[in-house]
Structure 1
Amino acid sequence: MSFWRELGFASNPYVVKPLPSSADGRELLVGRDVELRALLRRIEEGDTHIVLEGPNGVGKTSLVAVAAWVASQRFQRRETVQLYLPLPEALQIKEDASEFISDCYFAIARAFLDNEEVLKRADRKVPKTRDVKAWLEAPVLKGRGLNLTSPFGGGGLTGSAAANSSTGFSNAGFRATIRSWLREAFPEGTGGLVGVIDNLELLETSAAARRLLEEIRDPVLQLGGMRWVLCGARGIARSVATTPRLNGVLSDPIEITPVADEYIPSLIDTRLLHYSVRPTSKAPVSASSFEHVYVVTHKNLRDSLRHAQSFSQDHESEFFQSKTETEIDEAFTQWLESQAIKHEASAKMQPRTWTLLEDLATFGGTCSPSDYEQFNFNDRAHMRKNVVELERYGLVNSSRDDDDQRRRSIEITSKGWLVHYARSHGLGSPVIPGM
């Protein structure tokens, strides 16, 4: 019997990956009703693509997945004539515009294949997908003398590659086919596919993000029958949403803040109940313990779930079965403290760098390069030197965005918050006064 089954759960209740676009996802999306309604309004009633700005791990992708499912259910209940269906998975942003555009079209094709029966039941015009399916799933694609694995066999199509199959689609012909599918299945005002363009902050600079979005504006963002939701952290989504070429294409960003503390007990209890297969299931991390780690991680839901999962798997199932809830809660607190102490001890930094970490935590965990005076530095260069040292130990993430000095591009990581927890609670090395 599996570890989770032994504890009375169908599977891991602390799963970290985004929620699915399904009834299960809707049940598990706790504390997001206001944000869900706001997102649905923009999907169903707006004419620009949606931008979500919020910290990493706050749950932006889960929110979009559930919103797409709720929108599809509204159609099923005949509350609207708009049919919305999600793309199979979020698309990760890439610096190579051509490669990213191809990823988008492949994802759209896959959504049509996955939802063929749904579209038929909705009396939508369904494309003849057999030939294109064979092309997409061909094991090898050839282009410019290179052999490239099919994206549905583990790789991607780039350049002017064409399929090595009898269907003979060209890259341009494939894209034209997808555009016609969208027009025919989703005439204006009747819905569309909902896709996520995720992790804009991976492009690091606002200039790079603007350049990429402007390159994909016509081939991707102007596609009829598509509702894109762009997600970013550290202020990058807000910095690029109103550029001249994207004005009227992207909406003003919706700020997604962490789930409010009051919802956390219900959020974790809902997960435990959802995955439970018997009344006597034994939770490795209770609601009260989860509240604690949620505070320690600075309200990062993804990191909190990851810590809960790691603690669970660091012990045998017999440990949890033999302990009371109070004993398990105490063991979790000790485990979390040991993780914090270990990370704090591994960071060998100068006092001034430690001071920056503590000041940054007091500042809220994020800042921009232009905030250097608030951290008692004479200029950006001296602050940057200390930021680089924090990066070396994985305590902050940052991008040097010289084009947008106001962007909050410096952020404490999960490891950084654990180290801050150790130092602020006197768990590891003693904090020297004035540090």
Structure 2
Amino acid sequence: MSFWSELGFGSNPYIVKPLPSSADGRELLVGRDSDLKSLLRKIEEGDTHVVLEGPNGVGKTSLVAVAAWVASERFRNRQTSQLYLPLAEPLQIKEDSSEFISDCYFAIARAFLDHEETLKRADRKAPKTRDVKTWLESPVIKGRGLSISTPFGGGGLTASSAANGSAGFSNAGFRTTIRGWLRDAFPEGTGGLVGVIDNLELLETSDAARRLLEEIRDPVLQLSGMRWVLCGARGIARSVAATPRLNGVLSDPIEITPVAHQFIPRLIEARLEHYSIRSTSKAPVSASSFERVYEVSHRNLRDSLRHAQSFASDRESEFFLEREEGQIADAFIRWLEDLAIKHEASVKMQPRTWKLLEDLAAFGGTCSPSDFDQFGFNDRAHMRKNVVELERYSLVTSSKDDDDQRRRSIETTSKGWLVYYARAKGLSSPVLPGV
């Protein structure tokens, strides 16, 4: 038997990856009813693409996946004439706009294959996808060096024939075909495909994100029959949404905050119930224990789930089967404290930099360079020198925005919160002044 089945679960209840676009995903999306309603309203009633702004790990991608499923269910239940269907996976932002555009068209083509039967049942005009399916599953080897291309990208290469000898598509021709499919399947006002453009903050600066989005505005963001949801952290999504060239293309951002603490017990209980395969299942991290790690992780759901999963995987199933819930809870807290101590011991910094970490935690974990005076610095340069030291140990991460220094762009990381926890609780070092 597998580890999880021995404990009475069908699979890992602390899985970190985003929730699926399905009934299961809806069941497990706890504490997000208000956000879900706001997002659905933007998707179904707005004519601009949706922007979600919120901390890393807060659950933005899960929210979009479930919203797309709810929207499609509303169509199936004849509550609306708009049909919305999700792309299979979020699209990760990248600096190369040409490559990213190709990724988008590839994902759209795949979605027509995934939803072919649904489109037909809805009496929507579904494309004949047999030849395209052959292309998607059988890349063509092009040129010297065995570089791989597909009919819809690959550095601008053109495919003249498919692997099975059928006619291929040029890069431009394939995109024209995709645009036609979207118009035919989703005439104006009848719905569309829902795609996620994720992790805008990976571009590091809002200037880079703005430039990328402006480059994809016409080939991607202006596609009829597509509803894009752009997700970002550290203020980047909010910053780019306000630029002149994207005005009228992107909506005002919806601020996604961490799941409220009162919903956390039910959130974990829902997962434990969903994955349980017998009434005597033994959870490595109970709802009450998860509340503790959620607090330590500064309400970062992804980090909290990751810690719960790591604690479970560090032990054999017998450890949990042979102990009472209270003993397991005590072991989890000790494990969490040991993890925090280990991270804290690896950091060697000057007292002034340690104080900045403490002050930043008291400030809520995020700030802007222009807040330097609130941290006791005379100017940005002196604060920046200490921020760089915190970055060196991966205790904070920061993004730049030359046009808007007021934007919150310095953020405490998962490791930063653990190190702060160790010092604030005096687990391995003297308690910081003021803690």
Contact 1:141 1:164 in 2 (8 A): no
Q: Match of 1:9?
A: 9
The Cα of 1:164 is off from its aligned counterpart by 5.4
Q: Summarize the Cα distance change of 1:160–1:151 in structure 2 as closer, same or farther, 3 Å threshold.
A: closer
- Structure 1 CA distance for aligned equivalents of residues 434 and 89 of structure 2: 48
Q: Summarize the Cα distance change of 1:114–1:357 in structure 2 as closer, same or farther, 3 Å threshold.
A: same
Q: Secondary structure at 1:378's aligned position in 2?
A: coil
Q: Match of 2:171?
A: 171
Q: In terms of mean alpha carbon deviation, does 328-337 or 390-399 score higher? A: 390-399
Q: Summarize the Cα distance change of 1:46–1:421 in structure 2 as closer, same or farther, 3 Å threshold.
A: same
- Structure 1 CA distance for aligned equivalents of residues 434 and 160 of structure 2: 65
Contact 2:369 2:406 in 1 (8 A): yes
- Structure 2 CA distance for aligned equivalents of residues 135 and 117 of structure 1: 20
AA of the residue aligned to 2:428: G
Contact 1:361 1:412 in 2 (8 A): yes
The Cα of 1:382 is off from its aligned counterpart by 1.4
Contact 1:141 1:163 in 2 (8 A): no
Q: Match of 2:112?
A: 112
AA of the residue aligned to 1:117: E
AA of the residue aligned to 1:397: T
Q: Summarize the Cα distance change of 1:107–1:141 in structure 2 as closer, same or farther, 3 Å threshold.
A: farther
- Structure 2 CA distance for aligned equivalents of residues 330 and 346 of structure 1: 25
- Structure 2 CA distance for aligned equivalents of residues 416 and 6 of structure 1: 35
AA of the residue aligned to 1:148: S
AA of the residue aligned to 1:354: W
Q: Match of 2:412?
A: 412
AA of the residue aligned to 1:74: R
Q: Match of 2:304?
A: 304
Q: Secondary structure at 2:195's aligned position in 1?
A: strand
Q: Match of 2:37?
A: 37
Q: Unpaired runs of 5+ in structure 1?
A: none
- The 5 Å alignment of 1:27-426 reads 27-142=27-142, 147-149=146-148, 157-162=154-159, 165=162, 166=165, 167-426=167-426
Q: Summarize the Cα distance change of 1:232–1:432 in structure 2 as closer, same or farther, 3 Å threshold.
A: closer
Contact 1:141 1:162 in 2 (8 A): no
Regions of 4+ moved over 6 Å: none
The Cα of 1:357 is off from its aligned counterpart by 0.4
AA of the residue aligned to 1:158: G
AA of the residue aligned to 1:112: F
The Cα of 1:379 is off from its aligned counterpart by 1.5
- Structure 1 CA distance for aligned equivalents of residues 397 and 154 of structure 2: 31
Q: Secondary structure at 2:81's aligned position in 1?
A: coil
Aligned length: 432
The Cα of 1:358 is off from its aligned counterpart by 0.4
The Cα of 1:432 is off from its aligned counterpart by 5.4
Q: Summarize the Cα distance change of 1:434–1:41 in structure 2 as closer, same or farther, 3 Å threshold.
A: closer
The Cα of 1:150 is off from its aligned counterpart by 5.2
Contact 1:55 1:257 in 2 (8 A): yes
- Structure 2 CA distance for aligned equivalents of residues 227 and 418 of structure 1: 38
The Cα of 1:430 is off from its aligned counterpart by 1.2
RMSD: 1.6
AA of the residue aligned to 1:123: D
Contact 1:65 1:86 in 2 (8 A): yes
Q: Summarize the Cα distance change of 1:362–1:161 in structure 2 as closer, same or farther, 3 Å threshold.
A: farther
Contact 2:135 2:150 in 1 (8 A): no
Q: In terms of mean alpha carbon deviation, does 335-344 or 371-380 score higher? A: 371-380
